[in-house]
Amino acid sequence: MTSLASALNPVSGDVLLDIQHFYARQMFLLDENRVAEWLDTFAEDGVFASTALPEPLEGRAAIERLTRAGVDARRQRGAVHRHLLTGLHAERRPDGTIVARSYVLVVETLPEETSQVWASTVCQDVLLRHGDGWLVRRRHVSLDRKGHALPVLEGM
């Protein structure tokens, strides 16, 4: 029997860079409230799970509802969020999908206030090749802020 660890293979440099680029664009789309384009980075049956959510969101429609609610909530507060991704680690599974882990620090800026850390998270994705790009098949976000349930509204 093959263990999970041994079933993962390194990705090539080109793939790692490509995934970095994918995330740079994906996070920017969310932060700019470009929800439709952001949703297009998920598989149609993509799943978004988070320790801040009571249960996973299954499919783009479910992900869209909560994402739009998050955008509305931020707009009402005048808040700008930036999802700062570091520490990207990616490996290939035997079926060709990619397991990618990263730190995503969410920084919030409110009008007339200084920016501050809003959440420290670990993001674990399963990515599918799609044309010359990628799609998120499954995302799992773990919030470091374990004792505090974040609003369900936020995409990351």
Q: Provide the binding-site residues for a copy of itself, judged by CB under 8 A.
A: 13-14, 16-18, 20-21, 23-25, 27-28, 78, 80, 82-90, 101-103, 105, 107, 109, 111-120, 122, 144-148
Rounded Cα gap, residues 139 and 127, in angstroms: 9
Q: Is 140 in contact with 49 (CB distance < 8 Å)?
A: yes
Q: Provide, rounded to whole angstroms, the least separation between the CB of residue 130 and a copy of itself.
A: 15
**Pairing verdict, β 116-130 and 98-109:** antiparallel
Residue 11 beta carbon to a copy of itself: minimum distance, rounded to whole angstroms: 9
Strand partners of residue 128: 135
Q: Are 81 and 64 in contact (CB under 8 A)?
A: no
Is the CB of 22 or the CB of 48 nearer to a copy of itself? 22
Question: From start to end of 5-59, where are the E strands?
Answer: 9-10, 42-50, 57-58
Smallest distance from a copy of itself to CB 58, Å: 28
Rounded to a whole number of angstroms, the minimum distance from the CB of residue 133 to a copy of itself is 10
Closer by beta carbon to a copy of itself, 74 or else 138? 74
